[in-house]
Amino acid sequence: MMNDCAHNGLFGVQLSNSVHLPSWWGIAFSESYDVSKYQSLNFWIKGDAGNESFLVLIKDKDNNDIEINSSSLKVKVSNLEWNLVEVPFDSSTLGTDSVTEIKSFVIGVPESDQIGTICVDDIYFSSKVQ
């Protein structure tokens, strides 16, 4: 169990899986949310032991589920410091056409033979550089 799960402020989101039980947290929008003016979904992450795996699931406007594994994001989860995760809304990252509208996104610790705990904080969309 992690003592400090906040990057900024008082609170963050702590996600822990048990053997073969995943853990998820996310946001669903009442209508499709226009992300065309944004470059990426960003958040800060820190692990209990380090090297934990995580997933980001995005549901696009057509109800397609897009799964992004932490290994494809080239970010290492550390137990010593917080690291910024950037999930670009482009086709090379998402494996599909660029996403312009989303219905939800979820961050989670996947089902695994290993138990892991991560903290996630300061979740935001990054604007495109003009």
**In this predicted model, what pLDDT tens digit does every residue of 58-112 receive, in sequence order?**
999 999 999 998 988 888 899 999 999 999 888 777 777 778 899 999 999 887 7
In a domain, 7, yes or no: no
**What residues contact residue 1 under an 8 Å CB cut-off, 6+ apart?**
16, 48, 117
Which residues are bridge partners to 57 per DSSP? 67, 106
**Would residue 1 count as lying in a domain?**
no
Mean pLDDT across the stretch 34-60? Answer: 92
Q: Is residue 5 part of a domain?
A: no
In a domain, 6, yes or no: no
Q: What is the pLDDT of residue 92?
A: 74
What residue numbers bound the domain in which 23 lies? Answer: 13-127
Is residue 8 one of the residues assigned to a domain?
Answer: no
- Of 17, 16, 117, 110, nearest to 68 by C-alpha is 110
Domain count, the chain: 1
pLDDT, tens digit, 9 for 90 and up, residues 50-69:
888 899 999 999 999 999 98
Distances in Å between the Cα of 82 and the Cα atoms of 5, 44, 72, 77 are: 10, 6, 18, 8
In a domain, 72, yes or no: yes
- Determine the pLDDT at residue 101: 92
pLDDT value of residue 1: 46
Q: Closest Cα partner for 100 from 128, 130, 71?
A: 128
Which of 42, 40, 57, 44 shows the shortest CA–CA distance to 109?
Answer: 57
pTM: predicted TM-score of the whole model, two decimal places? 0.88
Question: What CATH number does residue 48 fall under?
Answer: 2.60.120.430
Band of the pLDDT at 2, cuts 50, 70, 90?
A: low
pLDDT of the residue at 25: 93
Residue 4 maps to a domain: no
